[in-house]
Chain A
Amino acid sequence: MFEWSEEQLMVRDTIRRFIEAEVVPHIDELEHGDLPPYDIIRKLYATFGMDQMARDRFKIQLDRKRDGDAAESPVERAERQGDGGAAAMTLIPIVELCHYCPGIVTAMGVSVGLAAGTIMKQGTPAQMERWGLDLLTMDKVGAWAITEPDSGSDALGGMKSTARRDGDEYILNGNKTFITNGPYADTIVFYAKLDDGSDTPIRDRKVLTFVLDRGMPGLDQSEPFRKMGLHSSPTGELFLSDVRVGKDHLLGETEDEKKGSGRDSAKGNFVTERAGVAAMSLGLIEECLKLSVAYARDRMLWGQRIGDRQLIQLKLAKMEIARLNVQNLVFRHIELSAAGKSLTLAEASAMKLYSAQAASEVAMEAVQLFGGNGYMAEFRVEQLARDAKVFQIYAGTDEIQVTHIAKDLLNR
């Protein structure tokens, strides 16, 4: 794959039209105001039939779970046979949205990918029906709560939130922070350490996964944080004070740490999430490059367009190199998925590390190329530069990617 196919281009162009009509007119409210992105995401889902596709997919997953996971899951089949190019259909809207509002992708990805994904993987059929479907269709908003004030990259080991048994119920306590969709979430996937009264050191205790509903007694969802960028993705804190839940809120309704639950479920999202950040970086880089080339052509100084200056040309050349490299990485991921292969942990982490750094550098260079105008919101590159920075922080910091690459290479 060296370019998008005809069919993929049709998807891209259609999404572009939608974004120009439905997202661009609201950019100021999304990025400089407090407009939550959910109605726009729901419109995106309804317009392109993504809600119906989610319902169809949900039914297959639910039937399979009822059969005791006997049949091959769509994910397993895709891993064996290839996904027929489905990865591209997921990634193209991500690339296109990141030309304008990477935050929308984050809000959508966390709700559908992380919150719903975890419930669908670990939940019982009843839990899937109760919470999964509404999240997959974006009728409801989901949050995925793992990070705490004292544990970011060390989220599982350093976790302090607790789940204490009380008869047939659990009492949950703890604080979570940097929670995407936290302020608006209807459904929250909440990770906590089992406090069974034993002497097991807290680092080694079982990690249990619960589902919480908005408005539960003892659950507080903060207002959105003020933050550097990514304003179209509301981020907040969660405070749990003696939140009492029944076993029906414990995902899988078991404390047994099966494969795919608890710690495993948190790690299972790495490859998908990291490939997603690469696609986000591609969209952001494409936009910065497009805006920069147009500005370098139009902006006249000393009677000459600035694009004729070699220092400006160097910036454009570096942006193009970054665009080509990131696009190649994204295309490779799509090709691997179509062939029924997946990235290794080292590859996924390397892809994320490189793409995130490239996006940040390109966006900051775009600001520099625009000079004073680049620092002004009207020219948009300042927003993209602020947004790009988080790519190096969330879904595993740059530093964590380095350790994952090295660990995977050294332990083979």
Chain B
Amino acid sequence: MNVVVCVKQIPDPAAPPSLDPGTNNLIRAGKLILDDSDAYGVEMALQLVDKAGEGEVTLVSMTPNGETSGLRTALAMGAAKAILISDDSLAGTDALGTAKVLAAAIKRAEPDLILAATESTDGYTGTTPVQIAEILGLPSVTFAKKVEIDGGSLKVERQTEAGYDEVESPLPALVTVTAGVVEPRYPSFKGIMAAKSKPVETLTIADLGIDAGQVGAIGARQEITDVSASEERASGEIVVDEGDAHQRVIQFLEQLKVL
């Protein structure tokens, strides 16, 4: 059972983010970390491979600056190796361009299953995984809260607004997992020490046979035309108790329809 997990390395959300004033793109210079939302896919993949008793987990990621810090975290959790597509021409790539690059890299790994998060924490388009599946001609199942492999087929509980759907699919397939699917493990000390010697294959887009015109800002079909600050949250209502506070609290809760 070979599983590829698409992982994204993003600027640390704990530090204040900054946007390039020219392109409105997030500035990704410096150290990047593993997107928290990808830790669930990594953990799911590790559990599935462990249960299958054979195979390995391969990470696939893309970044303009050759950064591997985030990948090392996932390797420390237990992934066997990583493929990193790093190329100056990737700066400004949109979701579809990213999907083309990742799909080409995933093809090389010949996985039985591809896992991804439902969306990244820095971009939130949530479109790349299904585009990858489409490019590779594979079925895609989104919003999985439970993933099982039964022989050659995939069984997924797919989160919906009302509950969940039970979905079956042949393999290979692509699945996006929610944060509820599994609890990501902490990397062990041994894992952290082993991570630095695990292979990270760094490829350019030329290695993948992709034309530079299809990626980066040149190939992008999406453009961020404007960025504006989100509305500040309105301040709360302060109730001064003049003997009727309890009634006003009840009224407030009734307005919210929680009573």
Contacts and interface: CB of A to CB of B under 8 A. Distances in A.
Nearest to A56: B190
B189 A50 contact: yes
B196 A49 contact: no
A48 B186 contact: yes
B193 A7 contact: yes
Given A6-B69, A7-B196, A14 B190 contact: no
B192 interface: yes
A224 B229 CA distance: 56
A94 to B, nearest CB: 13
A11 B192 contact: yes
Given A7-B192, A14-B192, A47 B73 contact: no
Nearest to B193: A7
In this complex, the interface size class of chain A, counting residues with CB under 8 Å from chain B, is 10 to 19
A17 interface: yes
A294 interface: no
Contacts of B192: 7, 10-11, 14
A48 B69 contact: no
Contacts, number: 36
B73 A10 contact: yes
B186 A18 contact: yes
B187 interface: yes
B153 interface: no
A95 to B, nearest CB: 15
Interface in B170-210: 185-193, 195-196
B69 A49 contact: no
Contacts of B195: 7, 10
Interface in A48-63: 48-50, 52-53
B contact patch SS: helix
A47 B189 CA distance: 9
Interface string A6-24: 1100110010011000000
A82 B72 CA distance: 26
A10 B187 contact: yes
Given A7-B196, A10-B72, A10-B76, A53 B190 contact: yes
B190 A49 contact: yes
A17 B186 contact: yes
| Residue with the greatest number of chain B CB neighbours at <10 A, chosen from A18, A49, A50, A89 | A49
Contacts of A14: 76, 186-187, 192
A53 B194 CA distance: 13
Contacts of B186: 14, 17-18, 47-48
A316 B92 CA distance: 44
Nearest to B189: A48
A49 B186 CA distance: 10
Contacts of B191: 49
B189 A53 contact: yes
A49 B188 contact: yes
Contacts of A48: 186, 188-189
B189 A11 contact: yes
B47 to A, nearest CB: 16
B51 to A, nearest CB: 20
A47 B195 CA distance: 17
B32 to A, nearest CB: 13
Nearest to A89: B189
Interface in B15-31: none
Contacts of A49: 188-191
A47 B187 CA distance: 8
Contacts of A6: 69, 72
Contacts of B76: 10, 14
A335 to B, nearest CB: 18
A141 B195 CA distance: 32
Nearest to A18: B186
Contacts of B196: 7
Contacts of B69: 6
Interface string B62-85: 000000010011001000000000
B69 to A, nearest CB: 7
13 contacts: A7-B193, A10-B73, A10-B192, A14-B186, A14-B192, A17-B186, A47-B185, A48-B189, A49-B188, A50-B189, A53-B189, A53-B190, A89-B189
Nearest 9 pairs between A and B by C-beta? Answer: A49-B188, A48-B188, A10-B192, A48-B189, A49-B190, A47-B186, A14-B186, A11-B192, A14-B187
Given A6-B69, A7-B195, A7-B196, 14 more contacts: A6-B72, A7-B192, A7-B193, A10-B187, A10-B192, A10-B195, A14-B76, A14-B186, A47-B188, A48-B188, A48-B189, A49-B189, A49-B191, A53-B190
